[in-house]
Structure 1
Amino acid sequence: MSNPTQLTPDFTIGHLPSHHFQVSAATPGQVVAEKFEQEPDLPGVIITHESQVLGLISRVKFREQMIFPDRVELYREQPIRSLLDFIRIPPLMMEENWKIDDAVQASLNRQKDLIYEPIIVVMENQSLRILDVQTLIIAQSKNLSQAYKIIQKYRIEKQKHLAIIQKEQAKVRECHELLESQVIEAEKTQKSPTFQELAIVKQAEQIAQMNQRFVKIAKLISSEGRQAFQATFQGANSICNNTDKILGVGKAIANDLETVNRTSRTIREAIEQVRHLAVQVAVVTNQIGSQPSGLTQVSLEIGRLASKTFELGTQMEQIASRFKLRVHELTEAARAGANVAKSVTIKIDRAEMALLELEELISEKDFNSIPPIKEPLGTQKSVKTHSLVKDIEHAEVAVSELEEIVKQQNSSKYLIDKIQQALKSQKP
């Protein structure tokens, strides 16, 4: 079992605690049972044949079969592949670089009775590890807890800074009120200016200079704001340009579907061979009445073809799983991009109105050292915005059409069920 030091948001399933228990298809069931008894934390066993993964048997499914007395003797003496052929649960395989959140989502997308089945993790060196779903969910919970603590920390810091700002604003108000009261007293007495009054006048001049600086800063904000809006428009346009990436993912999906079609044709050919061999077996049995060596060879060929059909069904299940994840990533990315772009355009409109009001306020002030702003932002509005919104809407329509096409396709699980039914119908 591997153990990470401390989880971080960048960790993948390859960093999580996992187990290594891998046997060949010919291994007796007794060996697997003893291993489960020796290691109570072992979640399952990986079954391989000539470096190819045939499947995975979890501890839970193994115990379910071992509680029946008649099956204990059968599966303990027989190769473990016989139990795998009986259970027929397609394994969920993932690369070690999968994010923890993505792995949890993929695991929960399985059938209800398979959600807690262990996951096969393919390491970078092509070795295989077994990951317990409970370990995966606990890791996700720890990540969420750490993220919540970080958010709380920043929230507390925000409150501290707000308190400081409010305190400084209160001081400014007190100084302003004190200045006004002193000016009023000076007007009432009409005496010659004292040292204190001169200090007040000096402070008033400083305040006037600060006002001029504020106006200059407002003008700079207006100028920089235009540039920021232009850059924001360019960023929103880049979201629309991501349509090329969406098309690339669509092509990858099309390639996977072509692979599914080829595998389906191979399965149909295998089923036809099984049917043909079954007819030959029935004819030979009826004619001879006993099972000769030739009939044994035919039976072995039937068993091999059935195994081949099951392995091809497993490959189709894996391809369909990748297809579903790619479509999910495609739709989520396009929708998120569209929502962000729409939100950006709305915020730009509001910011433009705010800067327009700021420019009008500046133009009302009579400062000789500050030239008026000649070009209001309100006159430059929204040809680009409307065009960008149309592009975003077109992208959303394209994504919706792709989702509809995916929903109309027959899933690989339905195809595998059909194949299994056809095989059962050929059994004597």
Structure 2
Amino acid sequence: MSNPTQLTPDLTIGHLPCHHFQVSAATPGQVVAERFEQEPDLPGVIITHESQVLGMISRVKFREQMSLPDRLEIYGQHPIRALLDFIRIPPLMLSENWKVDDAVQASLNRHKDLIYEPIVVVMENESHLLLDVQTLVIAQSRLLAQANKVIQKHRVERQKYRAIIKEEQAKFQECNELLKSQQRQTEKSQNLPNFHQQAAMVKQAEELAQMNQRFVRIAKLISSEGRQAFQATFQGANSICNNTDKILGVGKAIANDLETVNRTSRTIREAIEQVRHLAVQVAVVTNQMGSQPSGLSQVSLEIGRLASKTFELGNQMEQIASRFKLRVHELTQAARAGANVAKSVTIKIDRAEMALLELEELIAEKDLPSPTAITEPLPVIKSVTADSLVKDIEHAEVAVYELEQRVQQQDSSQYLIQKIQQALKAKKP
């Protein structure tokens, strides 16, 4: 039987006390019984044949069979293999490297009648030993007891460390309270104005006074700029009004010219009708007479006069159209000039408004009172805004563009003259 070593969590069954009792299969049963009588601690016997383990018979199973009537006479003189064949209990064979906990678990997993059967331990040198289950359980209980001692020791140490941590936390809390108290005292001492702070406050007050004066100057400048912008607005409005009057005069002149063009067009239509009538008469006379009579010469003369009159009317219409185009151009230039003036006024007003907004933002940012030097409010002038003026000018430009298109459509005097000439040439006998 081997001696156990120091108990550790990695303890294996090869380190536990084991028994060495091994016989061949031909050994009589009486020899085994005598050996059990001599060594009461033997848990069983290993039966081999030619170095091969055939099985294992425990002391308990051996005594159960031998206590029966006539069994000692039967199995005492016969080989032990006969009893092994009769019992037929497979042994639990484990390697010596099995841990104690695993071996106990394997032993308990057997049938309840076989739980306390000895375990056959296979050593590395291929020898076989018997391990009593009681020895295995005792080793496990010792391991558990040792583990409990370690756990209790750790618990005691944990309680000790907890006490130390609480003590340190109390010290930290005390230091923290002391630090907060010192900070409050420091803040109180800093809130008391000293000489340097008073000097800084005086300097800051002087800077505020200088800034106030600067605001006054800026306000005056902005007031001046605002008045100039409003004056420019009045001038621009007057210019736009004058241009508007001019546009109205040009429009009236255009209307008169258009009336003349209409009358001329009606005269041309009448002349064309006469030319057509004469052309028809010439054609009829020509067909009735083989030679040209004196009356036909009179008709040709009348046709020539009508053609001359038509040319004169065409020239007159061209002159009227030229004057019409010139006046339309003047009207367009006047409208564009008004638009430019309105845009300039808008830009100046925007600049003045931006300057006023910057001043208001600066005053709001600094949170300062309004300067006392400016007591008069800026004049508020109720007039037409620049945006509405620009829209009116744009509408005027659209109207001028439409007039130009109408002029282009009505400028057809040359085309009418060409048609009359073609008709005369076609009807000439």
TM-score, scaled relative to structure 2 = 0.43
TM-score of the pair, normalised by structure 1: 0.43
